[in-house]
Amino acid sequence: TAPPGLIHSALGLPDTCALPQAPAAAATMSGPAAETPSAIQICRIMRPDDANVAGNVHGGTILKMIEEAGAIISTRHCNSQNGECCVAALAQVERTDFLSPMCIGEVAHVSAEITYTSKHSVEVQVHVMSENILTGTKKLTNKATLWYVPLSLKNVDKVLEVPPVVYSRQGQEEEGRKRYEAQKLERMETTWRNGDIVQPVLNPEPNTVSYSQSSLIHLVGPSDCTLHGFVHGGVTMKLMDEVAGIVAARHCKTNIVTASVDAINFYDKIRKGCVITISGRVTFTSNKSMEIEVLVDSDPVVDNSQKRYRAASAFFTYVSLSQEGKSLPVPQLVPETEDEKKRFEEGKGRYLQMKAKRQGQAEPQP
C-alpha cells in the first residue's frame, strides 16, 4: 500500500498531501472492501503563483483545493465496497463563504468529511484553515458543502449507488436528508436559466451590465482533466472565479475580493478537447457588495453529433477594497433592459434573504 502522503497521486493532484483523519484505518487498507476513513485533510503551502493582484491567495485556488479534497474522499467512499469501479463527479457546491483572507507563505489545511449519503449522491463538508508556520497561528478561512455522484468507469453516463455511511450520532441522517432535499429543490429551480446567453454590446455606458460583462474562452487540455478525460470540477470553479473577478474589477475600478459563492451547479460533464466559454455579468449591487452571475458553456468542436450546452452556473459575491484593504462603496448598477431589471430584483431577494439569515445566526440564543 502506498504511504498516506502519496495516495493523492493516483488522482493527479499536484503539490498536495492527502492525509486520512483515521491513520489506523488507512494503515490497514488493502483493497476496495477495506474500511475507508470518512474524513481526510489536504495540506499545501501557498506560493507566489497562487496570489491575486492584491497579494492574497486567489479565491479560485482555494475553491480548487476544496474540490480536490471532496473528490478524493467521495471517490474513496464510493469504491469502498466490492463492485463496479467509479469516479465521484461534482454535481453542486452549496454556498461557500470566504471568512478571512489567506496569505502567501501560509499553509492551507483543507479538511473534508462525508456527512450524508443518499442512494446516488454524497455530501461532503469542507473546512479550510490557514496556518502561519512562523507563529503557529491558525484561522478558519472557508467553509463549503459539496455534492458528488458516482459515475461508472465503464460507462460515465451511468450513475451508481452509493455505499451507506456510518453516522456518528443520532439524528445526523435525518438532518442530512433535509439538506439533500433542500439542495435538490434549489438545483431544479436554477435549470430554467440554462438558455441565458451573455451578448456583447457596443459602446456601453459605465455602471451598466454591458460595461463590465466579460467572457473567457478556454480549450480544455489534458492538464485540466481527470485520468478519465473529464474536466476537474475545481478547474472549472477557478476559471469561473477568474471571470467573476474581472467583471467585479471592471465595475468597481478598485481591488476586489471574493466574499462568497452561492451554489455552483454542474449540469453536464466537460470533456477533453471541448472549448468552454465562461461568461460573467453583474446582476445586483448593494452598498458594499456586488452579485455576479457566471455561466459556463461547452462546445464539443471535434464532435459534430453534440451541440453547445450549458455545463455550469453560479453566483459570486465580491466586495470592493481600498489599497489599505478597507471596504469601499460599490458603484450602483444601472439595469437597462427588462431582463436586467428582473435579474436585479432576483439578486436583491437573494441578498436580503442571506442578510436575514446572517442576522438570525448572530442573535444570541436564549
CA 312 to chain centre: 11
Nearest Cα neighbor of 177 from 121, 265, 116 is: 116
Cα gap 312→294, rounded to integer Å: 8
First-to-last alpha carbon distance for the chain, in angstroms, is 52
For the chain, how long is the longest CA-to-CA vector?
Answer: 64
The residue annotated as part of the active site, out of 97, 241, 262, 297, is 241
In whole angstroms, give the CA distance from residue 171 to residue 201.
53
The strand pairing partners of 87, in sequence order, are: 151
Element counts in the chain: helices (H) and strands (E): 6, 13
The phi and psi torsions of 13 (rounded to 5 degrees) equal: -110, 100
Do residues 114 and 95 lie in contact, with contact meaning Cβ atoms separated by under 8 Å? no
Position 98, amino acid: F
Q: What is the 3-state composition of the chain as percent helix, strand, coil, each rounded to the nearest 5?
A: 30, 35, 35
**Residue 243, helix vs strand vs coil:** helix
Which grid coordinates belong to 282?
453583474
HSE (side-chain half, CA atoms, 13 Å) at 42? 26
Q: Identify the active-site residue in 50, 52, 142, 224.
A: 52
Q: Is the dihedral of CA 12, 17, 18, 23 positive or negative?
A: positive
The reply to whether 207 belongs to the active site is: no
Cell 463496479 appears where? 84
Q: What residue has cell string 469601499?
A: 328
265 catalytic? Reply is no
297 touches 220 (CB < 8 A): no
Question: Catalytic residue positions?
Answer: 52, 241
